[in-house]
Structure 1
Amino acid sequence: MEHLIKSGLGWRIGWKPNAPVFKGLVGTDDWAIELTQAELNDFCRLLAQLADTMKQLADELMAEEKIACEAESDLLWLEVEGYPHAYSLCLILNTGRGVEGKWDTVAVPGLLQASGMLKVF
């Protein structure tokens, strides 16, 4: 496999197993950042954790109540913000490259689904 890039409305995610260092890619239509395999693994794992947390909180919140949840590894920090059924996602790399990124509410469901099917773990 040369490389795999999946994309949708406001998001893209990629995997290039033969790349020497930066095997992963995440971004939007306007920007992208290459990630190491460990960073991409953490991104996918933490995004899934945050999505599960938002799903669990849905029953505990009033319909108009917004919430923010964050998750962090040594490599990166993620935050979701909004309603349990519609939220944005922010990313900050902790690895010295000084990268921040954000996905709008419409992009997160597709990105979440694609990140779970990337098979990089």
Structure 2
Amino acid sequence: MRVVEGPGWRLAVEAERQHWPVLIGGEGWAAEFTWREAALLRRCVLQLVGQLEGIADQLMADEAITLEVETPCPPGSLWVELEGHRAAWRLRFVLAPADGSRGLEGSWSEQASGPLVAALTHCEVLQRERGEVGPAR
């Protein structure tokens, strides 16, 4: 199992586990994700951070901003929000369930969001995009 963590966040990957190989957590919560859910969360978070970086020079230092994205995450959907200022922001997500599936909701503080994004960026097994995302075989 590979675990990286810091104050207010945690990312653990156990590639040998079939159903829930990725554990992602925040202050006082943690949840297990499928490869696909974790990869979609990673993609959405990086998309929002990229959008913020693209407009950061147009924002005043104390100007508040909220960016969000929603994408299908069969059998439900995933919604992710970045909220804050150009230099300090927090993340929040909702994995909305479809009938018969679980739902998840979590968030990270301004202090935890940046280091979590760095960990997600460098998590190699979540970078693969071939069908059911997971470790190379």
TM range (shorter): over 0.9
Question: Could you tell me whether the CA contact under 8 Å between 1:55 and 1:85 is conserved in 2?
Answer: no
Kindly state the Cα deviation for residue 29 of structure 1 after the two structures are TM-superposed.
3.8
Code of the aligned partner of 1:111: L
Residue in 2 that maps onto 1:73? 71
Question: Could you tell me whether the CA contact under 8 Å between 1:81 and 1:87 is conserved in 2?
Answer: yes
Pick aligned residue for 1:107 from 98, 102, 112: 112
Residue in 2 that maps onto 1:85? 87
Kindly state the Cα deviation for residue 112 of structure 1 after the two structures are TM-superposed.
0.3
Counterparts of 1:48 and 1:79, CA distance in 2: 11
Answer with 95-104 or 31-40: which moved more: 95-104
Question: Could you tell me whether the CA contact under 8 Å between 2:12 and 2:23 is conserved in 1?
Answer: yes
SS of 2:15's equivalent in the other structure is coil
| TM-score for both structures, normalised by structure 2 | 0.82
Code of the aligned partner of 1:69: L
Question: Could you tell me whether the CA contact under 8 Å between 1:80 and 1:90 is conserved in 2?
Answer: yes
Q: Give the gaps of 5 or more residues in structure 2.
A: 129-137
- Report runs of 4+ in structure 1 exceeding 6 Å deviation: none
Question: Could you tell me whether the CA contact under 8 Å between 1:69 and 1:81 is conserved in 2?
Answer: yes
Identity over aligned residues, as a percent? 34
Residue in 2 that maps onto 1:117? 122
Q: Work out which of the two has the higher radius of gyration on C-alpha atoms and give 1 or 2.
A: 2
Kindly state the Cα deviation for residue 98 of structure 1 after the two structures are TM-superposed.
2.3
Q: Give the gaps of 5 or more residues in structure 1.
A: none
Higher helix share: 2
SS of 1:107's equivalent in the other structure is helix
Question: Could you tell me whether the CA contact under 8 Å between 2:90 and 2:108 is conserved in 1?
Answer: yes
| TM-score for both structures, normalised by structure 1 | 0.92
Kindly state the Cα deviation for residue 14 of structure 1 after the two structures are TM-superposed.
1.5
Counterparts of 1:88 and 1:82, CA distance in 2: 6
Counterparts of 1:115 and 1:21, CA distance in 2: 20
Alpha-carbon RMSD across the aligned residues, in angstroms, is: 1.2
